[in-house]
Amino acid sequence: MYEHTFIEVCAGCGGLSSGLISAGMKPILLNDNNKNCCETLKLNHKNVKIKCCSMYNIKFKKYKDLDLLIGGVPCQSFSFAGMKKGLNDDRGILILQFAEIVNTIKPKMFMIENVRGLVSHNKGKTLKKIIKKLNENKLYNIKFKIINAVHYDVPQKRERVIIVGVLRKFNVEFNFPKKSNNVISIESALSNVPKSKGTKYSDAKKELFKLIPQGGCWINLPKDKQKEYLGKSYNSGGGKRGILRRLSMNEPSLTLLCSPTQKQTERCHPIKTRPLTIREYARIQTFPDDYEFVGSVSSQYKQIGNAVPVKLAYKLGKSIVKCLTKINVMNYDK
């Protein structure tokens, strides 16, 4: 049986690679430039080559027979929550470097995961420029789609854009995985979660959260406390519904970010007056309970918050395997 191979750059702590491995694929190289991410990868992906450096420093030419090149290329440059500098940011330029690698080794397929803001950034011109660069040799059929992890057995509302390219010469179409009707709530996801470390609230913030019901936020506070906590931003307009946000047990989680205690994007436990813990974060991102993370508590939150949910990666992986199987049958059984 042919074993489908992949390389992942900007691999983070391994959410995407874990899902692809579960789908039956074999990693031949995982790359990230963050030391803690690399140590997490080494701990959980034994006997896999891990390169802890910039993707600029890797000689990719020797991987020309690759099935799949993937990358969760840094996405803050295109985020609605960020400054949206796009390709003018060093992190944004990495997506163009990914395109250079594609054009160098010409894998059978490639896939990029990024924030949905990439689609609308600069009125869509940024995405067009990226796709043009990815396909500068006119070798690929490329499609993209905004998908929400909540539709793929992930207990979290998390929208991302997925860009997939398949070499034209194989005349095989990639189909995105079908949505699941199974919506998973936080209550189900957090059942019997192993104990773990987590950040804490100040006593003052605890008192505020005691006044907020499940699914609520700062607007549930008395007016005087709203004004005191928000200060000048009270009159700044906008919903600001991420501030002092308590999650709801009977709904999926909101998108997990790099910390559960950022003022604009709080992620308070639905019942307990505390932030979500490390293992709760991991559960919501669908990492197995035996998947270990390396580094400080803040580093672990960041690694998990930046990851592709494992079950979403698995569903994408199964669709990729179907596509590659068709390609390899055509290529080797003629």
Active site residues: 75
Q: Are 184 and 157 in contact (CB under 8 A)?
A: no
- Per the CB < 8 A criterion, the answer to whether 59 and 53 are in contact is no
Q: Cβ contacts of residue 128 below 8 Å, gap of 6+?
A: none
Report yes or no: 159 and 146 within 8 Å, Cβ to Cβ: yes
Q: How far apart are CA 267 and CA 251, in angstroms?
A: 13
- Smallest CA-to-CA distance from 37 within 21, 63, 54, 13 is with 13
148, 253 Cβ separation under 8 angstroms: no
**Sign of the dihedral defined by the CA atoms of residues 304, 310, 311, 313, in that order:** positive
The C-alpha atoms of residue 218 and residue 211 are separated, in whole angstroms, by: 9
Q: Are 278 and 197 in contact (CB under 8 A)?
A: yes
The letter for the amino acid at 37 is C
